Amino acid sequence: MRDATTEPTPLAHEVVAAVLQVRAGSLRVMLWERALEPHAHRWSLPGGQLGRGEDIEASIRRQLAEKVDIRQLAHVEQLAVFSAPDRVPGPRVVATAFLGLVRSDADPAVPPDTDWFPVDDLPVTAFDHGAIVLRARDRLRAKLSYTNIGFALAPPAFTMSELRGIYSAALGYSVSATNLQRVLARRGLLESTGDTTKPGRSGGRPATLFRFTNTGMQVTDPFAVLRPPGRR
């Protein structure tokens, strides 16, 4: 006789996305306020039920486009599957979570019940969505060390000072523009656009504008680790 705990259970499957962007000097996540129970008025990641006939990535892209008007994510990747039996009240629901990234120069149109929150200062979230956000933050921080994923956070052209600000916000600690340029240039990830910024009112030397050489995800140094100053 089978143990009751081993009997197959019909499962609902949802997809959710932690969409991150560097905004106003900090790494932020897009959340929307739930209107209905369970967890009414808590903040939730965008997403919904997996539709018939669609794969999970097509589903999350569709739902983001329908709900928060993000049709051109700079990068999206599967993050993890969250399957704790009690992750939501009522019938069991398994969630496939995605990490999505939006360039810092974009300002996606969002509905009134949606806003951007600092990932290190989240409001009360629904279900396990706070844990999903932190998992996405940690994935991004790790990949900034050994891939070119910075292309999905930075605008198409930027100064090194601007890129330093983006990396600092995403990593959660200050980085040196000089060291950052040295590391990325050594890996062949940066090139000059041939242009400079316009001189400001106070004069000064115009800053060189750079861009990433590749806007597709690639592993550049599988053993690299970016660490806060003072750590080895």
Domains recognised in the chain with CATH numbers: 11-144 (3.90.79.10), 147-212 (1.10.10.10)
Locus of tokens 């969002």: 110
Per residue in 170-179, pLDDT (tens digit) is 999 999 999 9
Under the phi-then-psi rule, with left for phi > 0, alpha for psi from -120 to 50, and beta for the rest, what region is 139? alpha
> What pLDDT shows up at residue 9?
59
Q: What is the mean pLDDT of residues 103-115?
A: 92
Using the predicted structure, report yes or no on whether residue 7 has a pLDDT greater than 70: no
Torsion of CA 138, 107, 209, 74, to 10 degrees: 50
Nearest Cα neighbor of 68 from 100, 38, 37, 36 is 100
Specify which residues 17 forms β-bridges with: 98
pLDDT tens, position by position, 37-59: 999 999 999 999 988 889 999 99
The pLDDT tens digits of the residues spanning 190-207 come to: 999 999 988 766 666 889
CA–CA dist 177, 98 (Å, integer): 30
The pLDDT of residue 221: 84
CB 84 within 8 A of CB 112: no
Residue of higher predicted confidence among 191 and 71: 191
What was the pLDDT predicted at 232?
A: 52
